[in-house]
Structures are given as structure tokens and as C-alpha cells.
Amino acid sequence: MAGIVAVFLAACSPSLAPPPGAWLPLPQPPVGLVNPAVLALGHGSVLVLAGQSVVSGSFPGALRPPLSTVEEFASGTWHLRAPEPEALSDSGIVILPNDDVLVVGGVDGQERAVPRAYLYDPAADRWSRTPDLPVPIAAPFATLLKDGTVLVGGGASAWPNDSPRPSGLSSAWIFDPAKQDWRSIKSMHTGRLFASATRLPDGTVLVAGGEGDGSPLASAEVFDPATTSWTVVAPLPQAREQHAATLIGGKVVLMGGTASTVFGGGFALNAGLDAEIFDVGSKSWSLGSPPSSSVSPEPFAAVAPMADHRLLILTQPLPQAIAYDVGADYWSRITRPPSWQTAPTLSNMANGQVLLLAGKSAWRFDPNGNVPSTETGFGRETVVLSLIAGGLLLLLGVQRFFRAR
């Protein structure tokens, strides 16, 4: 009897319960960008820029030229804004304290790294050119510091997809928007391309992973703006690049991208399914529990934090949505998202919801919304759960019948 009760309790695990939240369709974007930067501005609108064009009939992953198109979603409506002065991809992009947007470096339509930098004023819908970077740079990181200046570094001096792959740069600079000037600072200990750069609560910046000489890196270092110095910290449990990094409750969570690890038996795991967690206090790393195959066996396609401090993750090629609770180290499935035809992008919205963009399709995810059970995608498991519950009740009834006799 105890064994049946255990099975029943396992079946009642939240991971098998009807998932919360709802995906709600939004108006179609005017152009539909692939792999854009999506920025939630302070006044509640969402800016979409630095994307690529949709090529109908192209195979998945086909290279597309960058577009200068800028789209804004505000008050339930899409608007076209002033285009970028030139079409760039792989730029470093950051929102400044006054809601202006800084676009640094990138790759032009001829697949060349550029040194140019631009400022966009959303209120005036106007672009202006700022002083160039000292060198051309593609795919740098750009992180806002507490004093309003911007840390820019890493990247590559050539198109990141060139053959042979370019090496990651260790150079770093600070841009002062008020003075409109660049200042060179000490280089990182390791050159890195496609690294993450996360500002920590004390104002320092954690730069983690990335690509070195064609392979993912496990190294990490912290930049201190007070001393403009870099300090090497403990390495990641597994090398990772092109990942998402999110600060949640004193921890930085790395997820998605390309990661690699090899077990003793020589079995290679798609480690992009795991969560690597940096504890800000101890400056140490830990590896979160991977999602079970019953939650998601699919590679991650996009990651975004939700208002309840969980992470929302989309998978592909089979479109699923799962959530990760960092504090509890717990995975669960949530409402199945709509299917999409191009690479999905997730971003927070000012109302605590999450925006999903995939070319000319758009949805918002409401974690507190209700969805009919037929739309959750969990019919089979609901039936199994009902059978287990029914079987348990039947056994309890039989047991009581014989006790009464």
C-alpha cells in the first residue's frame, strides 16, 4: 500500500500538474526581424532592433543580411521608428539611465567588423553618431555601470562566423555618454567572444565563458570599476558560449548557448540543458540539476526571467516552455507555447509578462493567466494521473471493506 501511495504522490508532482500561465497573441510586427535585440524601456515600451531579414524558403540557420529596421511595441500597437544609420548585426547594445540606447561595434552587410557607435533617443526618435571605438569589433559585450558609464570588451576583430574563426579579444574600454569619449582600461586575462557580462549588486561585473580559439571557455573574471582591474574567479563547471546570463537573488544563472562536458565513460552531453550558478557572496560556481527527460529533452532556444524570479525557457525544434526555480533548483513544465518558423527571442515587459518574437509573429506570456486544459499539451499525463488517483481510491475502498468485515 505504501508503494502505491508513493507512486500517487510522485504523480501529483508539480511537474505533472496542469501548467500555469497563458500565451496570448499580439499584433503582427510590421517587418519581423530574426535574432534581434529586444529592449524593455523604462516607460513601458519594447524596442526591437539590430535584427536580420527573414528569407522565405531558406534552410534553418541560413545567414541573412542585417537590417536597419527599428520596431517599437507600445500600448498594444507596433510602430516603425527611425532606422539605424547603418544595418549592423552582432553589436553590443545597452540601455542608458535616461532610456537612450547605445549601439557599439558589430558586423556590416559586407561581413566586416566596424568600430562605429551610435546613440538612439527614443523620446525624439533620433539617432546620433558618437566617437568610434579605437578598433573595429564584432560581438562585444556592453554593460551599464553604476555611475552611468558603459563597460565594453571582448568580441572579435573580424566576422565571428569567418573561417577560420577569429580569436576572442581581451581588450576593454569604458564609454562615458556625458563626455562622449572612450577610455582604454586594462585588458582581461582571457580573450573571449560571445561571453556574458553581468553587473553584480556591488557594482562589479562578472564576465563568464565565451569562445576562445574556436572552442567554449570555462574561465571567468570580475571587473572592479573602482580600480579598473580584473580578477580571475573560479571557472565554470563546464565551458559555455553564446549563453544567457541572469542575476536572480544574489546568483547569476548561465543557461542555453553552446556548452560541453565529457563524462568519465566518454559520453558527451549537450550541456546547454544545464544551469550553471554563480554565488555572488562566495564567488563560487555550482551546477544546477538538469531537467529530466520528462520535463524537456530539447535544446534551449531562448531564456528570460519572469516576475516571480523563475526563468522561462523555450526549447526547439519541438516548441516547449519550461520554468526553472533557481532557489529551489526545480524544473517544471508550463503552458506549451505556439509554434514558430524562425528563431525565437524572449524579453521582459514592464507589466511582468514576457514577450516572444519569432519573425512576423508575436505573443506575450502571462504567468498568472489561465488556459483551457486542452491547450496545455498534457492530456496524456492528466489521464495517467487520473488513473493512478482512481486506482488508489479503489484500493482504499477495498481495504476499508475487508476491515469492516
Q: For residue range 102-128, what is the model confidence (pLDDT) as tens digits?
A: 999 999 989 999 999 999 999 999 999
For 379-392, what is the mean pLDDT? 35
**315 in any annotated domain:** yes
pLDDT single digits (tens) 259-286: 876 444 333 345 566 899 999 999 999 9
> Distance between CA 114 and CA 107 in Å, rounded?
6
Residues in the chain: 405
**19 in any annotated domain:** yes
Contacts of 73 (CB under 8 A, 6+ apart): 26, 29, 45, 46, 48, 79, 355, 362
For 136-140, what is the mean pLDDT? 97
pLDDT at 270: 52
For 339-356, what is the mean pLDDT? 88
Give CA separation, 352 vs 22, 306, 347, in Å.
13, 7, 10
Residue 317: asked if its preceding bond is cis (omega within 30°), the reply is yes
CA–chain centroid gap for 388, Å, is: 38
pLDDT at 381: 34
pLDDT band, residue 372 (cuts 50/70/90): very low
Q: Is 196 helix (H, G, I), strand (E, B) or coil?
A: strand
Would you say residue 356 has pLDDT above 80?
A: yes
> Distance between CA 405 and CA 397 in Å, rounded?
13
> Which of 62-71, 85-94, 170-179, 211-220 shows the lowest mean pLDDT across its residues?
62-71
Segments forming the whole domain that contains residue 366? 13-28+298-384
pLDDT at 50: 95
| Cβ 161 vs Cβ 178: under 8 Å | no
> Which of 198-212, 308-322, 364-378 shows the lowest mean pLDDT across its residues?
364-378
**362 in any annotated domain:** yes
pLDDT at 96: 98
Higher pLDDT, 222 or 295: 222
Would you say residue 171 has pLDDT above 70?
A: yes
pLDDT at 57: 52
For 207-236, what is the mean pLDDT? 95
Contacts of 326 (CB under 8 A, 6+ apart): 248, 249, 251, 253, 275, 277, 288, 309, 310, 311
Higher pLDDT, 382 or 341: 341
Would you say residue 88 has pLDDT above 80?
A: yes
Provide the terminal-to-terminal Cα distance of the chain, rounded to the nearest Å. Answer: 19
Angle between helical axes of 379-404 and 2-11 (0-180°, round to 10): 150
**356 in any annotated domain:** yes
How crowded is residue 340: how many other Cβ atoms within 10 Å of its Cβ? 18
**379 in any annotated domain:** yes
pLDDT at 56: 57
Our count of domains for the chain comes to: 1
Would you say residue 27 has pLDDT above 50?
A: yes
Would you say residue 396 has pLDDT above 60?
A: no
Percentage of the chain exceeding pLDDT 70: 79
**286 in any annotated domain:** no
Would you say residue 76 has pLDDT above 50?
A: yes
Would you say residue 30 has pLDDT above 60?
A: yes
Q: What is the mean pLDDT of the chain?
A: 83
For 88-109, what is the mean pLDDT? 96
For 362-377, what is the mean pLDDT? 68
pLDDT single digits (tens) 291-345: 876 666 667 789 999 988 899 999 887 788 999 999 999 998 888 888 887 889 9
Would you say residue 399 has pLDDT above 50?
A: no
pLDDT at 370: 63
> Distance between CA 326 and CA 277 in Å, rounded?
8
pLDDT at 261: 61
Would you say residue 9 has pLDDT above 50?
A: no
pLDDT band, residue 397 (cuts 50/70/90): very low
**93 in any annotated domain:** no
For 63-85, what is the mean pLDDT? 93
For 153-157, what is the mean pLDDT? 97
Higher pLDDT, 165 or 401: 165
Give CA separation, 145 vs 41, 113, 281, 364, in Å.
17, 25, 19, 30
One-letter identity of residue 85: P
Higher pLDDT, 213 or 211: 211
